[in-house]
Amino acid sequence: MWWWALGALVLFIVIGIVGAVANRGAVDYDALTERLRGKRPPRDAFGDRDDVPEAPLKRAAIIVNPTKYDDLPDVRARIAGICAANGWGAPIWHETTIADPGTGQARAAVAEGADLVCALGGDGTVRAVAKGLIGGEVPMALLPAGTGNLLARNLDLPSDSMEKALLVALTGQNKTIDVGQVVIDRGESSESVTDQFLVMAGLGFDATVMAGTDEELKKKVGMAAYVVTGLQNMKGPQFKVRVSVDGGIEFTRRTQTVLIGNCGKLFGGLVLMPEAKVDDGLIDAVLLSPKGVVGWTAVAARVVSRRRKGHGIVDHHTGTEIRVKTDRPKDLQLDGDIVAEAVGVSATVLPRALVVRVAQPTS
Q: What is the pLDDT of residues 348-363, one digit of tens each?
A: 999 999 999 999 887 6
**In this predicted structure, which of 29-38, 62-71, 284-293 has the lowest mean pLDDT?**
29-38
> Alpha-carbon distance 260 to 245, whole Å?
12
The pLDDT assigned to 238 comes to 84
**β-strands 322-334, 116-121: how paired?**
unpaired
Class of domain 58-171: alpha beta
pTM: 0.81
Q: What is residue 308's DSSP assignment?
A: -
Sorted by sequence, the CB contacts under 8 Å of residue 219 that are 6+ apart come out as none
> Pseudo-torsion of CA 283, 155, 65, 131, nearest 10°?
-40
Average pLDDT over residues 82-110: 97
pLDDT at 265: 85
Handedness of CA 15, 221, 93, 110 (dihedral sign): positive
What residue spans define the domains of the chain? Answer: 3-15+180-353, 58-171
CATH class of 3-15+180-353: mainly beta
Which of 159, 142, 146, 150 shows the shortest CA–CA distance to 29? 159
223-244 per-position pLDDT tens digit: 555 555 555 555 667 899 999 9
77 compared with 29, residue with greater pLDDT: 77
The 3-state DSSP class for residue 267 equals: helix
**Phi, psi values for residue 200, rounded to 5°:** -145, 150
Which range among 96-105, 143-152, 184-193, 250-259 has the greatest average pLDDT?
96-105
In contact, 187 and 329? CB cutoff 8 Å? yes
Q: What pLDDT, on the 0 to 100 scale, is given for residue 245?
A: 97
Give yes or no for residue 32 having a pLDDT over 60: no
Same topology for domains 3-15+180-353 and 58-171, yes or no? no
Lowest mean pLDDT among 58-67, 253-262, 264-273, 338-347: 264-273
